[in-house]
Amino acid sequence: MAFPTLKTNRLKLRQITEADLENIFRGLSHPEVIKHYGVSYSTLNDTWEQLEWYAELERTHSGIWWAIVWVESGEFCGAIGYNNLSREHKKAELGFWLLPGFWKKGIIQESLEPVLGYGFKKLHLHRIEAFVETENISSQKALQKQHFQQEGILRDSEVKNGRFISVAIFSRLNKI
């Protein structure tokens, strides 16, 4: 089955490939991106692990992630997708990140619409959930604009950079 490419007016969401390695490293090693993201890499070589993770999600049908690129230039902006896909429970976890040069341009909002549509219509999900560090206000607002509801906070549930952090749980249900 061919990888599903999604499009909006300004963006193309396509399969992540080996050619994206340097861009993924730029994002997942950037202090401002990884400040609120659960994965980071210190070398380009280590970043292969992330590409292998994306490929494994596809191979095992346990998720799907897209590269977000500008339609006009093909410039890489970031990534968005699902992991922890449970067909039995009809749910998946949503994640996303952008390179800082693309922040505050509405890219996540624009990307979320086709990604959520794909999740509900093609993957037949009933529930899409997102786990967001409580200090990551931008991601929380992005989810709320897409009608996600905060269900609660897992207080001091993870250790990051030697300190406990709390994580908010958001979800959106398929009401169709």
Q: Which H or E run includes 109?
A: helix 107-117
Domain ranges of the chain: 6-127
Residue 151 CA to residue 41 CA, distance in Å, equals: 31
As a 3-state breakdown, the chain gives helix, strand, coil percent values, each rounded to 5, of 35, 35, 30
Q: What pLDDT does residue 38 have?
A: 86
| Residues shown for the chain | 176
Q: CA separation (Å) from 138 to 68, 87, 111, 153, 159?
A: 18, 29, 15, 16, 21
For 44-97, the pLDDT digits (tens) are 999 999 999 999 999 999 999 999 999 999 999 999 999 999 999 999 999 999
- Which overall architecture, per CATH, does domain 6-127 show? 3-Layer(aba) Sandwich (3.40)
For 5-54, the pLDDT digits (tens) are 999 999 999 999 999 999 999 999 999 999 999 899 999 999 999 999 99
Rounded to two decimals, what is the model's pTM? 0.95
